[in-house]
Amino acid sequence: MELLSILSGLENTDLFGIPIINVDSFSELIVRFLFNTIISFIIVGWFYYRKAKRRDYLYTFMLISTTVFLLIFLLGHEKLQMGLALGLFAIFGIVRYRTETVPIREMTYLFMIIGISVINGLATSVSYTELLTTNLIFIVMTWIMEGKIMKVENCKFIIYEKIDLITPARHDEMMEDLKKRTGLEITKFEVGYINFLKDTAFVKIYYKTDSDEINTVDQITKEKQFNG
């Protein structure tokens, strides 16, 4: 109670024409920030990290969520609102973290986290019921897409040297060879780039696994990409 009285006393005090504190705005900031952080952590920490086990992206997503939310919330009262929100999407769409090729799954989560933070920071004219429902839709859709309902096969790129087996007539032989050498339950494979000078071919294999975790190095085809 004493804290509230102190804050109320400071509310009518300003410094260089700027109020020291606005209790209503401050309370709204704390409530919305905690709400946005909880929603972001459920999506990133529970759905994403549980499968990917990538701490670097967990760190990135949570800090981006915090940054975007505070940026939108604090500037949302200015005449920037929609232009600022769309500008953020444009910036991240152009930059795309140029120091590293970000996989499509991580880009999707990044886009979603930015969207959620923009909504939670900017949607001050809608009811809390609508805001809560919107965030729950994000959580439910993520759960559906990450759950067993929409479970997809894993894929891996390999460089295959038995060039004589890549012909359609020897498809079954190549399938057995791939299963034997990889030890994976391969369901199908696709032959891509063929180098007859080196007698090698790029092959993309699809396989089933009992684990829900995602192999984050499955898409790596170059040694310099192996940095995560």
Q: How many C-beta atoms surround the C-beta of residue 112 within 10 A?
A: 19
Query: Among 200, 189, 197, which residue's Cα sits nearest to residue 161?
Result: 200
Query: Per residue of the chain (228 residues), what is the pLDDT tens digit?
Result: 555 565 565 556 665 556 666 667 778 889 999 999 999 999 998 888 887 778 888 888 999 899 888 888 877 654 555 566 566 666 665 555 555 566 778 888 888 998 898 888 888 778 888 899 999 999 999 888 887 555 556 778 888 999 899 998 999 999 999 999 988 888 889 998 898 888 889 998 888 776 655 655 555 555 444 344
Regarding pTM above 0.75, the answer is: no
Q: How many C-beta atoms surround the C-beta of residue 141 within 10 A?
A: 12
How far apart (Å, rounded) are the C-alpha atoms in residues 135 and 35? 10
Query: Among 31, 25, 32, which residue's Cα sits nearest to residue 10?
Result: 25
Q: How many CA atoms lie within 13 A of 15 on its CB side?
A: 4
